[in-house]
Amino acid sequence: MHRIEKGCRLGSALRLSNNPGVDALVVGCAGFGRDDDEKACATRRGLFELADEWSQRIRKEVCRRRVDEPSPSVMAARRPGHVSGDNDHVGAGLLCGWESSRGQSVQSWPNRRVTLAPWQEKPAKKGGAVGKATFPKTFQSIHPRDLLANYSSLVRPVKEPNARFRVTVRFFLQQIVNVDEKNQVIELNAWLKYVWYDYRLKWKPDNYEDIGSVRFSSEDNVIFQPDVLLYNSADKSFDSTYKSNLVVYHTGEVNWIPPGIFRASCRLDVTYFPFDDQSCFLKFGSWTYHGYALDLQLDTDPGMEPQVDLSTYIPNGEWYLKSCPATRKENYYECCPEPYPTVYFWLNIRRRTLYYIFNLIIPSLLISSMTLLGFCLPAYDMAEKIGFQTTILLSVCFFLTVVGEMTPPTSEAIPLLGVFFSTQTLLVSISTAFTIMVLNIRYRQPANHKMSHLFQRLFLVWLPWLLMMRRPEHKLLKNKSIKIKNKEILEDECIQCIGIDVIENGDQYAYKTAEELFKPEPLFAEVYQIPVDRLGLERKVGEGIFPMRRCTTVKNKRNEQYDKYVQKCVELLGDPDSGEYDEAALVVINYYKRIHARLKYILEKMTKHEREENLRDDYRFASMVLDRLCLVMFSFLISVCIAVIFMSPPYLYA
């Protein structure tokens, strides 16, 4: 019973020391009284003595550490997860303890893994006696007090006060997450790698179970950390990096690799959007230390130019990464004589244009080309022609709205794509205005409009000749267009306009030509024999030889001959003294004169109607000429605009 009570007290003591794993050493505490074998009792006696000795040691160590109050930095370092080694048996807390016979890990303190040192039994002597158990020499483990003794995280780790503390930085780009043109922000997924040396964090791995590195939390500021920040950060918390652990090697080298989503301000020039190249940078530097206190340098490979590390880069579908150099600058300010070093990581990116070409540019070009088809429609239906042009104008305005939502609201530069759509909108608007003008000319009436000579020459003579348009049954002359109706060209047109022969030969050429055309008529032959004035210029001084208002036609000459003949007949038949006097013939002549007057009136009406119809045809033809002129003009303008706009950017496809 005494042994049972002793064993139970030992187990309780071990539990009070917060070492539940030591219970494995208490073998059969409840069954000691049932075994009367002396040999077994001797063995258990040795075990109890050994357990009692270790229990006293543990209690002393626990009490000593409870009494001993370490510094605040040591207390922070003794929290779980602050110090760790390379081996699996090294935990996050104090590396000390002992190991069971089977090498099992037990708990020395709450939430702190330790490894128990192995122990062995001496060989049993003859006669069944068991020797006293002995322990080999244990290894010394790294304790936070060993590394952080007299350590202050507020002091630079340099031996001389005026010495520069050197920190190298490297930027690992993972992915271009987003380029926000509206907010002028670029978003990146990247890592930073800081490397520096702290001479106060050195140890010999041989003395500490070959432990070559330990880790400290960066959130508690246990050791010194350089205050390097992203100067042009656009994040809400400013510093968007994840506070990862700091890895301290036995040589004093400290590595800190904080990942993060970096949002940096970047001036994006959208002049050539979407064929634009952008250049953004990330500026890192110390926030409080100048260059003489903290020397920030770029971490580069030997023989290589400083640049962003792209070993783990994932290409972006919208942006092509051209180059990513890194530079270091030292800035001097008026307030301070010390330099302030900063490092720049540049990102030269180029926008991929395939999306914009197939979704914006090609559809807009097709819609703009349909503007030209609007001038090919006949001007007979007013509603269809205007409705077609208006629909095209609304479509181009819709694309212009889409482009306006994609570009930032800035007045510094107008995007190239916006200029293109604005130009297309202007051309379509002008084409709609010209369509209305064409319809206005098409539906003009002679009763409301009088065609001027300039309009007639411009739209009926010069432009048709320039555009190589041929009008049926019409012939283009120098100043007018004449209508050809079989033989009437010599009757209806001015002698001066027929040709050079008429001008040189005078009226005789016209009479001769008319005589050949009307040979079957005997009356004209008799009339032609009557002596009359052949050349009646009747001009005033200064009016020229052929004034337009006295332009003489073959028909007028023939009618003049007929009138003179009838007047001569009336004089002969009405003179009683002449031998040709006949009253009946005078009555017949007067009757035919009345018939001639009525026919002349009907002819004038028909001539007026024909003249009005010809004038309507002239207006219709003028509208066709204007349509053809707009087709050629807008084809040229659209081609020139497209060529000028799309030849100005530095590239078209990327």
In tens, the pLDDT along 543-553 reads 445 444 445 55
Are 288 and 159 contacting, i.e. CB atoms less than 8 angstroms apart?
A: no
The predicted structure's pLDDT at residue 164: 94
Q: Which residue type sits at 265?
A: S
Given the DSSP bridges, would you call strands 213-216 and 246-249 parallel, antiparallel or unpaired?
A: antiparallel
Concatenating the DSSP letter of every residue in 548-573 gives GGG--BHHHHHHHHHHHHHHHHHHHH
In the predicted model, is pLDDT for residue 117 greater than 50? no
DSSP 272: T
Pair 449, 384 in one domain: yes
In the predicted model, is pLDDT for residue 262 greater than 80? yes
Any idea which of 40-44, 67-71, 166-170, 353-357 has the lowest mean pLDDT? 67-71
The predicted structure's pLDDT at residue 471: 84
CATH code for the domain in which residue 160 is found: 2.70.170.10
- From 327, 351, 375, give the residue that closes a domain: 351
Question: Phi and psi of 290, rounded to 5°?
Answer: -90, 180
174 within some domain: yes
User: Which of 420, 423, 366 minimizes the C-alpha distance to 649?
Assistant: 420
In the predicted model, is pLDDT for residue 272 greater than 70? yes
Pair 326, 436 in one domain: no
In the predicted model, is pLDDT for residue 647 greater than 80? yes
In the predicted model, is pLDDT for residue 163 greater than 70? yes
157 within some domain: yes
Pair 315, 374 in one domain: no
In the predicted model, is pLDDT for residue 113 greater than 50? no
Q: How many domains does the chain have?
A: 2
The predicted structure's pLDDT at residue 327: 96
Q: How confident is the model at residue 589 (pLDDT cuts 50, 70, 90)?
A: confident
Helices (H), 152-210: none
- From 330, 351, 372, give the residue that closes a domain: 351
The predicted structure's pLDDT at residue 75: 44
Buried/exposed code over 215-245 (b: 16+ C-beta within 10 A; e: otherwise): bbbbeeebbbbbebebbbbbbeeeebbeebb
pTM beyond 0.75: the answer is no
The predicted structure's pLDDT at residue 78: 41
DSSP 335: S
Pair 347, 467 in one domain: no
The length of the chain, given as a count of residues: 654
Q: How confident is the model at residue 182 (pLDDT cuts 50, 70, 90)?
A: confident
Q: Would you give the end-to-end CA distance of the chain in angstroms? A: 91
In the predicted model, is pLDDT for residue 572 greater than 90? no
Pair 289, 368 in one domain: no
Pair 366, 468 in one domain: yes
Mean pLDDT of 484-489: 53
The predicted structure's pLDDT at residue 614: 87
Helices (H), 68-189: 72-77, 144-148
DSSP 476: E
224 within some domain: yes
Question: Phi and psi of 296, rounded to 5°?
Answer: -90, 120
36 within some domain: no
Mean pLDDT of 240-258: 94
Pair 210, 302 in one domain: yes
The predicted structure's pLDDT at residue 33: 42
602 within some domain: yes
The predicted structure's pLDDT at residue 144: 60
The predicted structure's pLDDT at residue 26: 37
Q: Please name every residue paired with 307 in a beta bridge, in sequence order, or none if there are none.
A: 325
> Which range of residues forms the domain containing residue 324?
145-351
Q: How confident is the model at residue 101 (pLDDT cuts 50, 70, 90)?
A: very low
106 within some domain: no
Q: How confident is the model at residue 451 (pLDDT cuts 50, 70, 90)?
A: confident
Mean pLDDT of the chain: 74
Any idea which of 187-191, 301-305, 314-318, 511-515 has the lowest mean pLDDT? 511-515
Pair 335, 372 in one domain: no
Are 496 and 546 contacting, i.e. CB atoms less than 8 angstroms apart?
A: yes
Are 260 and 240 contacting, i.e. CB atoms less than 8 angstroms apart?
A: yes
In the predicted model, is pLDDT for residue 286 greater than 90? yes
Question: Phi and psi of 466, rounded to 5°?
Answer: -70, -40
556 within some domain: no
Any idea which of 89-98, 139-148, 577-586 has the lowest mean pLDDT? 89-98
599-612 pLDDT, tens digit each: 989 989 998 998 89
Buried/exposed code over 465-488 (b: 16+ C-beta within 10 A; e: otherwise): eeeeeebeebebeeebbbbeeeee
Pair 244, 339 in one domain: yes
- From 304, 331, 351, give the residue that closes a domain: 351
The predicted structure's pLDDT at residue 382: 76
In the predicted model, is pLDDT for residue 210 greater than 60? yes
* Higher pLDDT, residue 533 or 416: 416
* Higher pLDDT, residue 402 or 55: 402
The predicted structure's pLDDT at residue 299: 94
Pair 304, 431 in one domain: no
Pair 250, 391 in one domain: no
DSSP 288: S
What's the CA gap between 28 and 36, in Å, rounded?
Answer: 14
Question: Phi and psi of 43, rounded to 5°?
Answer: -65, -45
The predicted structure's pLDDT at residue 3: 42
Pair 275, 257 in one domain: yes
Type and span of the H or E element at 366: helix 362-374
89 within some domain: no
Q: How confident is the model at residue 338 (pLDDT cuts 50, 70, 90)?
A: very high
What's the CA gap between 288 and 290, in Å, rounded?
Answer: 7
In the predicted model, is pLDDT for residue 485 greater than 90? no
